[in-house]
Chains A and B, each alone.
Chain A
Amino acid sequence: MHELEIAVAILVATLRAATPLVLAGFGELIAERSGVLNLGVEGMMLMGASVGFIGTVATGSPIIGLLLAMLAGAALAMVFGVLTLSLMANQVATGLALTIFGVGFSALVGVKWIGIPLEGIATDIWPSLSSSSPIVQQLMLLDPIVWLAVLVPFLIHRFIYRTRAGLVLRAVGESHDVAHALGYSVLKIRYLAVAFGGAMSGLAGAYLSLAYTPMWSENMVAGRGWIALALVVFSTWKPAWLALGSLLFGFVTIAQFQAEALGLALSPHLLAMLPYLATIVVLVLISRDATRLKLNAPAALGRPFHATA
C-alpha cells in the first residue's frame, strides 16, 4: 500500500511538473509547424506568469487571470509577429530579444505584486469523489490546468494530422511559396500560429504563478521556456514525442527527488544531471536517423516569406 501511494505521488508530481512544458511546448510546436521559430517562449511565459497573477489578485477570479495571461502571451507574440513576419526581421535575433524583453517587462509590471500570498486555483472540482480512496483523492487534487495539459497533446495531434486546417498549417511550414500559390494567406496563418503559441506560453506561465507555486516572483519560470523549446526540436516536431519528452523530463526530475529522499546513495550532482541527460538520450535515440530528422523539420522553418506574385 505504501509503495502504491508513493507511485501515485510520483505520478501526480510528474503531471504537475510536465504541465508547463506541455502547454508551452505544444504552443511552440504549432508556431514552428507554420515555419516560424520563436525563441521568446521564456519571455512570454514570464509575462503570462506576472499578468495572470496580477489579474487573479486584482479581480479575484483565476479564470480572468488565465485569460489575461493568454492575452499577454499572445500580445507579446504579436510584437514578434509584426517584426519577423511583416517586417521580416531575423527570427532568431528577434526571439532572443523577446525573451530578454519579457524577463524585464514582467519584472517591471509585477514589482508591486511580489510577496502577496494567493490561494491558488481550486482543486476540488469533483467534490462527489472526495469520499473515495486516498489514491483517487490524490488524483482528484490535480487542478483543471493539469487536466487540460493531459488533453492538449491529443487535441493538437488530431488538429495537425486529421483536419484540413492542420494540413494547411503544415503546408505553410513546409513550403510557403506553394501554399501561397494555392491561394492560402501565408502571413495570416503564421500570425495565427504565432499568437496561439504566445497564448499557450502565457497559460503555461500562469500555471506556474497560479497553481504550481501560487506566487509571483521575478524570473520564476526559471528556464522552463528554454526546456520546452529544446523539447520541440528533440521531438523532431512530432506531437507524440513532444508529449513523451515533457513527461519524461518531469518524471526524471521528480524521480530524482524521490530517490534522494529515499536515501539512495547516488551523487546529488549526478542526479541533478539526470532529467537533462535522460531526456536528451531518449529523444536522440528515437530521432537518430538524420534524414528522418531533416524530413520532419518544417522545411520553411525560420525563413521569411515575401509574396513575389
Chain B
Amino acid sequence: MLTTRRTLLQASLALPAAGLLPRVAAAADPFKVGFIYVAPIGDAGWTFQHDLGRKALEASLGAAVKTTFVENVPEEGADAERVIRKLATEGHSLIYTTSFGFMEPTLKVAAKFPKVKFAHCTGYKRAANVSTYSARFYEGRYLTGLIAGRMTKSNVIGYVAAFPIPEVVQGINAVLLAARTVNPNVTIKVVFVSSWFDPGKERAAADTLISQGADVIMHHTDSSAVVQGGEEKGVWSFGYDSDMLRYGPKTNLTSVTMHWDDYYIDQTKAAMAGSWKSDDTWGGLKTGMVKLGPLNAAVPESVRAEVTAATAKIEAGTLLPFAGPIKDQAGAVKVAAGKSLSDGEILGMNWFAEGVQGKLG
C-alpha cells in the first residue's frame, strides 16, 4: 500500500520478471485509486490533509477500493509524468494529482490513457477524462481576518507567503478586507519566502515580521514553523491546511483547514458506478471542504459570535468576501460598491487590496 518513489523504482526493475508470472485475475478485483503527493505526508499541512481524504475513502468503501499513494513527487522535471504513467499502467482507474505543478504531466498522461480518469487539484485545464477540483481557501481566510482584526493591538498583521500567485493573493486580500470591517486601521505586511516548504526561512520571515511590529502572524506555506515562532515570541498566530494548535497552545488562535474526504468518496463512487464526468469542483465553507479549526480559549466570546455569524452568511451566500467597494494599492477602484468579483476574477487575482504592504511581480 505504501509506495514511495524508491519502491516504485524497484518495482519497475522487477517488472520483466513479474510479467512472466501467471496473472491471477479475479472478477472481484478492487477498484484501484491512485494519489500523487508533492510533499512527504508528514504530520500537518497540504499533503497530510489529502492523505486524510484517502484514508477516509478507504474507510468508507472498504474492500471495494484499493488506494495507492506516491509521496514527495517533485513538480519540476520528468518525475511527475513518469510516476503518473506508472500508476496508470498499473491498472489504477482513477488518479488524483494533488498539486498545481502536476497539471501538464496529468494532461499528458491522460491523453494516452483515455479510459483512466484523472482529477487534478488547483489546476484550470480540463479534458474529457481530467477533472479539476479546489477549495475556496479564501472563505476560511476571511474568518481569520475577522479574528485578527479584533485581536491585533499594533494593527499590523504579518503574512509569510510562498509565491505571488492568485491562490496566495486571494488569501491575503481576504484577510485584509475582513480585518478592516472590524478594525479600519489594520495593515498587512507580506514577506515572500519563495518556497512552499523551508521551515528555516519561514521562521526567519516570521521573526522579521514580528521585529517590525506585527502582533498577529499567519502563513501560506507548508510547515508549522510560523506558528511555532509566534508561540516563542508570544505573538498571535493562525495555522493553515491542518489544525496547528499543538504547535502554539497559548498563541495559535485557530487554523484554516482543508477537507477532501467527501470529494474523494463521491468522485470515486461515481467512477465505480460509471457516472463520472469531467467537471470542475470548487468547494468552500458550505460544502465543508474548508473549515475553521477549533478556536483558542483566548478568543473572546463576542468575537466567536462574529465568526459564527459570518460563517452562516458566507454559507448562505449573503456575505461575499470580495464584494465591493474594494480599492487596490494605488487607490484605484477594483470592485465597485454593490458588485462582487466573479469566480474567474478571483481565480486570476493579481493585485493587492489597499492596506496590503508588499509587491507582486
User: Is B357 an interface position by the 8 A CB rule?
Assistant: yes
Contact partners of B194 in chain A: CB under 8 A: 268-269, 272
Contact indicator B204/A261 (Cβ below 8 Å)? no
Contact indicator A212/B158 (Cβ below 8 Å)? no
B229-256: which residues lie under 8 A (CB-CB) from chain A?
Answer: 232, 246-247
Task: Name the segment of A9-17, A87-95, A189-197 touching the other chain.
Answer: A9-17
Contact indicator A220/B43 (Cβ below 8 Å)? no
Min distance, Cβ B208 to any Cβ of chain A, angstroms:
4
Contact indicator A215/B201 (Cβ below 8 Å)? no
Q: How far is the CA of A115 from the CA of B224 in the complex (A)?
A: 9
Min distance, Cβ B3 to any Cβ of chain A, angstroms:
14
User: Is A271 an interface position by the 8 A CB rule?
Assistant: yes
Contact indicator A213/B211 (Cβ below 8 Å)? no
Min distance, Cβ B189 to any Cβ of chain A, angstroms:
5
Tell me whether A262 and B212 are in contact in the complex, defined as CB-CB below 8 angstroms, given that A114-B43, A115-B44, A257-B204 are known contacts.
yes
Contact indicator B361/A267 (Cβ below 8 Å)? yes
Contact indicator A16/B42 (Cβ below 8 Å)? no
A244-284: which residues lie under 8 A (CB-CB) from chain B?
Answer: 253-254, 257-258, 260-263, 265-269, 271-272
User: Is B220 an interface position by the 8 A CB rule?
Assistant: no
B154-206: which residues lie under 8 A (CB-CB) from chain A?
Answer: 158, 164, 189-195, 197-205
Contact indicator A268/B228 (Cβ below 8 Å)? no
Contact indicator A260/B190 (Cβ below 8 Å)? yes
Contact indicator A254/B204 (Cβ below 8 Å)? yes
User: Is A214 an interface position by the 8 A CB rule?
Assistant: yes
A86-131: which residues lie under 8 A (CB-CB) from chain B?
Answer: 104, 107, 114-115, 117, 120
Min distance, Cβ A18 to any Cβ of chain B, angstroms:
11
- Chain B residue at smallest Cβ distance from A250: B204
Min distance, Cβ B251 to any Cβ of chain A, angstroms:
13
User: Is A295 an interface position by the 8 A CB rule?
Assistant: no
Contact indicator A117/B228 (Cβ below 8 Å)? yes
**Size category, B interface:** 35 or more
Min distance, Cβ A203 to any Cβ of chain B, angstroms:
15
Min distance, Cβ B360 to any Cβ of chain A, angstroms:
7
Contact indicator A265/B359 (Cβ below 8 Å)? yes
8 Å CB contact of B211 from A6, A212, A269: A6
Contact partners of A215 in chain B: CB under 8 A: 199, 223-225, 228, 247
User: Is A287 an interface position by the 8 A CB rule?
Assistant: no
Contact partners of A224 in chain B: CB under 8 A: 200
Contact partners of B223 in chain A: CB under 8 A: 213, 215, 217, 220
Q: How far is the CA of A218 from the CA of B214 in the complex (A)?
A: 29
Tell me whether A115 and B211 are in contact in the complex, defined as CB-CB below 8 angstroms, given that A222-B198, A272-B194 are known contacts.
no
Q: How far is the CA of A76 from the CA of B358 in the complex (A)?
A: 44
Tell me whether A268 and B192 are in contact in the complex, defined as CB-CB below 8 angstroms, given that A13-B207, A115-B43, A218-B42 are known contacts.
yes
User: Is B23 an interface position by the 8 A CB rule?
Assistant: no
User: Is B216 an interface position by the 8 A CB rule?
Assistant: no
Contact indicator B190/A213 (Cβ below 8 Å)? no
Q: How far is the CA of A20 from the CA of B201 in the complex (A)?
A: 13
Contact indicator B192/A222 (Cβ below 8 Å)? no
Contact indicator B43/A268 (Cβ below 8 Å)? no
Contact indicator B208/A254 (Cβ below 8 Å)? yes
Q: How far is the CA of A257 from the CA of B212 in the complex (A)?
A: 11
Contact indicator A263/B357 (Cβ below 8 Å)? yes
**Residue total for A at the interface (Cβ-Cβ under 8 A):** 40
Min distance, Cβ B354 to any Cβ of chain A, angstroms:
13
B65-120: which residues lie under 8 A (CB-CB) from chain A?
Answer: 72
Contact indicator B197/A222 (Cβ below 8 Å)? yes
Contact indicator A261/B43 (Cβ below 8 Å)? no
Contact partners of A13 in chain B: CB under 8 A: 204, 207-208, 211
User: Is A137 an interface position by the 8 A CB rule?
Assistant: no
Min distance, Cβ B104 to any Cβ of chain A, angstroms:
21
Contact indicator A114/B191 (Cβ below 8 Å)? no
Contact indicator A107/B40 (Cβ below 8 Å)? yes
- Chain A residue at smallest Cβ distance from B202: A213
- Chain A residue at smallest Cβ distance from B43: A115
Contact indicator A213/B208 (Cβ below 8 Å)? no
Contact indicator A219/B211 (Cβ below 8 Å)? no
8 Å CB contact of B205 from A208, A218, A257, A266: A257
- Chain B residue at smallest Cβ distance from A221: B200
Contact partners of A266 in chain B: CB under 8 A: 359
Contact partners of A104 in chain B: CB under 8 A: 6
- Chain A residue at smallest Cβ distance from B242: A115
Contact partners of B40 in chain A: CB under 8 A: 107, 217-219
User: Is B292 an interface position by the 8 A CB rule?
Assistant: no
Residues of B within 8 A of A (CB): 6, 40, 42-44, 72, 158, 164, 189-195, 197-205, 207-209, 211-212, 214, 223-225, 228, 232, 246-247, 357-361
Q: List 19 A-B contacts (CB under 8 A).
A: A20-B200, A114-B42, A115-B43, A115-B44, A120-B232, A212-B199, A213-B200, A213-B223, A215-B199, A224-B200, A253-B201, A260-B190, A261-B191, A263-B357, A267-B361, A268-B194, A269-B164, A271-B192, A272-B194
- Kindly list 10 other residue pairs between chains A and B, CB separation below 8 angstroms, not including A261-B208, A265-B359: A104-B6, A115-B246, A120-B232, A213-B228, A217-B223, A258-B208, A260-B358, A268-B164, A268-B192, A268-B358
